[in-house]
A and B are shown apart, each in its own frame.
Chain A
Amino acid sequence: MNNNPLFAVAAVYDNPDKIISAVTKIANSGYRKFDVNTPYPLHGMDGAMKLKSSKLGFITLFFGLTGAATALLLAWWTLSVDYPLIIGGKPFFALPAFIPVTFELTVLLATVSTVICMLTFFFRFPANSYPIHDTQYMKDVSGDKFGVYVEAADSRFDLTELTILFNETGAVRIDQIYLPAKEVYPLFQPKFLWFLFSVFVITSIITYFSLNKLMYMEPFDWMADQQKQSVQKMSVFYSDEFGMRTPVKGTVARGFIPYKYLGQAVPSDTMKNPLPPTSSVLELGKKKFLTFCSPCHGNFADGDSRLRGQFVNPPSLHTSRARTITDGFIYHIITNGQNAMPSYSSQVTREERWSIINYLRVLQKAKNASDADLKMAKKESVSDGK
């Protein structure tokens, strides 16, 4: 140990007054690289050591303000910019309601960063290999003694002068502290690599288990398995073991209105069109016509099927017959089907059928307009432009 260079000379005292006077003398002699070690902070030591007051408060102030700003900006941006939502009749930026979170975040950031900054930047922790660690001197000052040491690196360092000073001020013991032997820890040593490898394996196993197994176990599986009968599953309750039940004979679905001419090729009577040709009805009719009718009848009801002969081509709907039959008869054809055309009652609702008929009448009128109609249309377009 004594082959190592000297780190410092240290003195141990057993009385707080003695150490204060010793430290005052050391500081007054012009030493800079010295430190005092006491089991608890001694009053008046800051002055004796000529320490400037701690600058830690500025860190607290900075991070406290950062916390407040973060909370307010986050609340403002999330609730008034990114996803504005009126909550309880409050404004989007409801400052009184944001105060609690702002306060909490201020405290959180201020305190945690003060401590982290103190430990890492002010103390340079963790540091378990400082020369005074594991010495008798450290053991004493950890318990009930007070110690001071002056580093050999100080420009004024003088071993004999310091020894005299320590003895004069009533030191119990004077120690010489040597630098410890340098320890080198190569990165690629088997122990460390094994440690890395085991961390890797354990992390992988836990990740695999939690993502691929745990999330599919009850109750973490988002209620995937519930005690209920699902539609396509077998039932142990019903004697026929069907989970899905057939309705009782004669059941009428909600909102069902029977169509009394069903199955007649030529209906004995027809219904009246209940829908006036308003723009919304025509919009709906156009949409449904283009979806359900246009594949065979063509986009403008010209009978130009898009099916290229794979299905029977229907006649044009601009024939005089198609134009003269009643709305009710067309409704009957859509509902009941005619010749090769099947019934569309399951795909197209009642309102949609009447809307399609209204739209079809518009198409027919457009293709077969008379001069009077043209005049009328011109008049309307001119008057519209006014």
Chain B
Amino acid sequence: MDNKENIALDYRYELPVVEGNLKKSDIDDLIAAPLEKKANKNFYISLALSGTALLIGVVCIATTLFNGIGVWGNNQPVGWAFDIVNFVFWVGIGHAGTLISAILFLFRQRWRTGIARFAEAMTIFAVMCAALFPVLHTGRPWLAGYLFPYPNQNGLWINFNSPLVWDVFAVSTYFTVSLVFWYIGLIPDFASLRDRTLSKTKKIIYSILSLGWRHSHRQWQHYEKAYMLLAGFATPLVLSVHTIVSFDFAVSVLPGWHTTIFPPYFVAGAIFSGFAMVVTVLLFVRKIFHLEQIITLNHLEKMNKVILATGMMVGYAYAMEFFMAWYSGVPTEQFVFINRAFGPYAWAYWIMISCNVLFPQLFWFKKIRRSTTAMLVIVILVNVGMWFERFVIIVTSLHRDFLPSSWGMYSPTLIDFGILLGSFGLFFTLVILFTKSMPAVSMSEVKAVTEGAQPQHHGVSDHE
């Protein structure tokens, strides 16, 4: 199908997942191209930029480790600041990957195939960035082993009642399961690359990574079952992870945190920010690696619709928080929310509202949903807005609570900004290296959804 902006799209029929009548061998060539061709100048420029950001982060982390977390801006009464803001932000980014790979798989959304691999990789990298922050937040990262239950000399055990321990289990399980899910998806592609490559070294590497995969249907049968089971487990897992992250706040008694709306609100926000980040990165990837026929405008449009929907859920949560503060009749609760919108951090609150609730409304227009420039601007604004959402939740709730004598202000230091920049550096460095070293789009899954890929006599759509 020719996809030009002036042709009206008929949404009553399923749009083709792969455009331009690509043959299966063309798909392999397209996806494997970044791995087989020499890197161009743009690759090195982008790697240098993200590597610089990463190095700045490394220097700032080293400073923190050497001098202690006193070099950060955190102080009474704002004991949680950039560290926890960044943690929640990055964990949220990760959620889009699992949503695309697991939840859309269970819903038999065939368009997920083009973006699932990339989004899963982003999940893993985002969780790596996220895990950095609570570990640094403890101040003594080399003692992080104490977070796990093991029989030790002190005879002490971890406190299973604590949301912070739940966090440790949730994030480490999430990382492990995402990694396994991602690797399982990569095995057939590694096998295809192993059989394509002409280089001896690459062949050894791909042989090891593919474990000897033979594309045998006796393997595919179990493989599909395992994939479905994993998707079935990853779906409640992804919901549980941000629920548990929200428990870090909701289980406390602090006004502004102690609300039961937090789990669904956080999960919606996570998917919102995650999709925004996936769209941001995919816009560049499809351009640079000429994947416009596999990661089509239709894909991006569908993701923009998800952004619009989750953005409104988040907007509903913002409104409901204010309603509950008024309805509860608790003066401190009411004060915290008025202070949020009109207090000293009002600027952060209004950045959050405009970026998360107002700007995504532009996605009601099809022209904007399908314009790469417009969506790039909006999704970057969403990323900014979601970072500020966590800043607003954490800092404005902490800086003025029950006792006016212990009110205070928070201002981050250069080190705080350096570590935040470094986490972006780490994320993008990993993303760039990933696109160069592994198939960024699942070859076997995309081939399976091209036209004529499945037998006709068997009937259609009784199975994905």
Contacts and interface: CB of A to CB of B under 8 A. Distances in A.
B24 A143 contact: yes
A356 interface: no
Interface in A59-104: 60, 74-75, 78-79, 82-83, 85, 87-88, 90, 94, 97-98, 100-101, 103-104
Given A101-B160, A123-B219, A138-B214, A17 B456 contact: yes
Given A41-B220, A41-B448, A51-B221, A110 B455 contact: no
Given A20-B458, A45-B217, A114-B226, A142 B191 contact: yes
Given A107-B177, A118-B222, A40 B157 contact: no
A183 to B, nearest CB: 14
Nearest to B66: A219
Interface of B: 23-25, 28, 65-66, 68, 142, 149, 155-162, 165-166, 169-170, 173, 176-177, 180-181, 184, 188, 191-192, 194-196, 207-208, 211-226, 229-230, 233-234, 236-237, 240, 244, 247, 443-445, 447-448, 452-458, 462-463
13 contacts: A20-B458, A36-B216, A45-B220, A46-B221, A56-B229, A74-B149, A79-B159, A79-B160, A100-B247, A115-B184, A125-B211, A128-B207, A142-B195
B212 A49 contact: no
B447 A144 contact: yes
Contacts of A169: none
A168 B222 CA distance: 30
B222 A40 contact: no
A90 B196 CA distance: 60
Given A56-B222, A125-B211, A143-B196, A114 B229 contact: yes
Interface string A345-361: 00000000000000000
A214 to B, nearest CB: 9
B195 A101 contact: no
B225 A56 contact: yes
Given A36-B217, A45-B217, A144-B28, A130 B212 contact: yes
Interface in A161-200: none
A108 interface: yes
A60 B454 contact: no
Given A54-B225, A82-B157, 19 more contacts: A20-B455, A41-B220, A41-B223, A42-B454, A44-B458, A46-B217, A54-B224, A87-B159, A94-B161, A100-B166, A100-B247, A101-B166, A112-B176, A125-B213, A128-B208, A129-B212, A130-B212, A142-B195, A142-B196
A208 interface: no
Contacts of A126: 208, 211-212
A220 B223 CA distance: 45
Nearest to A140: B195
Contact of A122 (B191, B222, B240): B222
Interface string A122-137: 1101111110110000
Kindly state the interface size class of chain A when it binds its partner: 35 or more
Nearest to B154: A83
Contacts of A139: 195-196
B214 A114 contact: no
B217 A111 contact: no
B169 A51 contact: no
A158 interface: no
Contacts of B211: 119, 123, 125-128
Interface of A: 16-17, 20, 35-46, 49, 51, 53-54, 56-57, 60, 74-75, 78-79, 82-83, 85, 87-88, 90, 94, 97-98, 100-101, 103-105, 107-108, 110-112, 114-115, 118-119, 122-123, 125-130, 132-133, 138-139, 141-144, 218-220
A83 B152 CA distance: 13
8 shortest interchain CB distances as A-B pairs: A144-B24, A40-B448, A78-B157, A142-B195, A44-B458, A41-B220, A127-B212, A36-B217
B458 to A, nearest CB: 4
Contacts of A105: 169, 173
Contact of A218 (B66, B230, B463): B66
Given A127-B211, A219-B66, A40 B169 contact: no
A38 B230 contact: no
A142 B463 contact: no
Given A35-B217, A38-B215, A133-B212, A56 B226 contact: yes
Contacts of B212: 123, 125-130, 133
A108 B244 contact: no
Contacts of A87: 159, 161-162
B25 A143 contact: yes
A78 B213 CA distance: 43
A112 B458 contact: no
A143 B452 CA distance: 15
Contact of A43 (B192, B443, B458): B458
Nearest to B169: A104
Interface centre among A79, A107, A130, A132 (most CB of B within 10 A): A107
Contacts of A123: 211-212, 219, 222
Contacts of B177: 107-108, 111-112
Given A40-B448, A107-B236, A83 B155 contact: yes
B160 A97 contact: yes
A40 B218 contact: no
A45 B455 CA distance: 9
Contacts of A132: 214
Nearest to A115: B180
B170 A40 contact: no
A49 B240 CA distance: 39
Contacts of A57: 225, 229
A49 B217 contact: yes
Contacts of A38: 215, 217, 220
Contacts of A35: 214, 216-218
A128 B206 CA distance: 11
B455 A17 contact: yes
A79 B157 contact: yes
Contact of B215 (A37, A53, A125): A37
